[in-house]
Amino acid sequence: MNTTYAEAGIAAITDVFAAQQKTAIRLRKSTADERIAKLKKLAATIEKYESAFIEAMYADFRKPRQEVIATEILPTLMDTRHAISNLRKWMKPKRVGTPASLFGASSYVQYEPKGVSLIIAPWNYPIYLVFGPLVYAIAAGCTAMVKPSELTPNTSAVIGRVIAEAFGKEEIACFEGGVEVSTALLELPFNHIFFTGSPAIGKVVMQAAAKHLTSVTLELGGKSPAFIDESTDLKDAAEKLVWGKFVNNGQTCVAPDYLLVKRERQEALINEMKNVIEKYYNADRQGVECSSSYARIVNDRHFQRISQLIADALEKGAHIETGGKTIAEERFIAPTILTNVTTHMKIMQEEIFGPVLPVITYDNLGEAIDFVNSMEKPLALYVFSKSNEKINRILQETSAGGTCVNDCVVHLVNHDLPFGGVNNSGIGKTHGFYGFEAFSNTRAVLRQRVGFTTVKTLYPPYGEKIDSMLKMMRRFFA
């Protein structure tokens, strides 16, 4: 068995990396049965530590037990089960066509493990965003060095215990610690890096990867908009938006970051959202701060950052429609909706990553589309509308990593959809086969019969015969 390396120091990193390089070569020959056995062991160990995870996440930022299960444990187990069920199909070489100019040959794509991988996970969903990528690394036949977030130390400690119990260090190892650990890991020539976090740190990771020409999957974030037009069912939209925005206290990479609302519908939508907030988080009328269903900001620094975003917006003319209450010693910020918001406010210049939802009105759809296109491409984009014409226009005229129509956030649980961003919101895709593919090299293989090739007529020495053959090939194949 392995140790968590929480106290082992930087020197242990290079030792484990060297051991995993040797293991990675051996794992190239690993079978589907061997990989499935490891996935089953991982799932069983996660389930064994479920209670410990629930306690740890409450200690880190008072995440409700139900949210830990629904947004951390269950998605991880679902990813694992899906990988187990489909791994044989994923690993099977995929036959592809062969052009007539290569008559006699056959072609296929063979998926081979990239090798030693690095998984750097964030704090907002610390269980799922460690084990989700790890599932696909194992499925692809890779080794992995895992770095959970130091901002959720209790949860990271349990993650380390799970990995130590389920795997040997030469295959999967967990390294707890701060920036110095991440920096040391990024110095190594990994075969693949899977990073989830902010665009700013994503650039640092990509720069480090470039030194070794290491491939990357960057799951980043950004300001994900939600469109509400004149045809939207406001009650339905309010229920979905309030859940998608305030689950995990707004600390979700695909949470709606701001709303674009048809001007005449703003007041009615906000009233609906106020009612939903009360129903979800203040049903007993004791105050949202007493709700057992409402998490907290992860640390004091992020609490101050979000509080300052609200203060800056109010100073520049924004209006609080609901919420605004803060309790510093609890890192509590009430579900807050802001109107009269402009792009001059800091809250519209960076990802909020907290329980604050700005509302911007528009008069015509083209104006709203132009607004979205003036920003960096988001990780997610949401459309609430009954008009297929408007839905299709938004899909055609905007760009985003993923989109939900008449819902939000839930697209990431569909294993048949690729999940990831575009440009500033991410590079590469994951989930389901796309996760397996992220940790795999798609190796091209062409097999020809011995003693037979259609290109033999092109072998030197060159002369008129080859010129004639090239003219014929141009006529038929070019």
DSSP β-bridge partners for residue 225: 258
Token pair 């939802």 is found at 357
The Cα–Cα gap between 90 and 435 comes to 11
- 8 A C-beta contact, residue 379 and residue 224: yes
What is the chain's pLDDT, residue by residue, as a tens digit (478 residues)?
A: 445 554 456 778 999 999 999 999 999 999 999 999 999 999 999 999 999 999 999 999 999 999 999 999 999 999 999 999 999 999 999 999 999 888 889 999 999 999 999 999 999 999 999 999 999 999 999 999 999 999 999 999 999 999 999 999 999 999 999 999 999 999 999 999 999 999 999 999 999 999 999 999 999 999 999 999 999 999 999 999 999 999 999 999 999 999 999 999 999 999 999 999 999 999 999 999 999 999 999 999 999 999 999 999 999 999 999 999 999 999 999 999 999 999 999 999 999 999 999 999 999 999 999 999 999 999 999 999 999 999 999 999 999 999 999 999 999 999 999 999 999 999 999 999 999 999 999 999 999 988 887 778 778 888 888 898 888 888 887 7
Give the whole-angstrom CA distance, residue 337 versus residue 343: 16
pTM: 0.95
Catalytic residue, candidates 253, 272, 321, 408: 253
Beta bridge partners of 444: 109
First to last CA, the chain: 59
Catalytic residue list contains 290: no
Instruction: Quote the CA–CA distance of 205 and 185 in Å, as a whole number.
Output: 10
Is 219 marked active-site? yes
Within 8 A by CB and 6+ apart from 239, the residues are: 276
16: which 2 tokens? Answer: 């484990």
Residue tagged active-site, from 67, 72, 171, 219: 219
| List of domains in the chain | 11-220+429-441 (3.40.605.10), 225-420 (3.40.309.10), 448-477 (no CATH)
How far is it, in rounded angstroms, from Cα 274 to Cα 445? 59
Distance from C-alpha of 138 to C-alpha of 172, rounded to nearest angstrom: 9
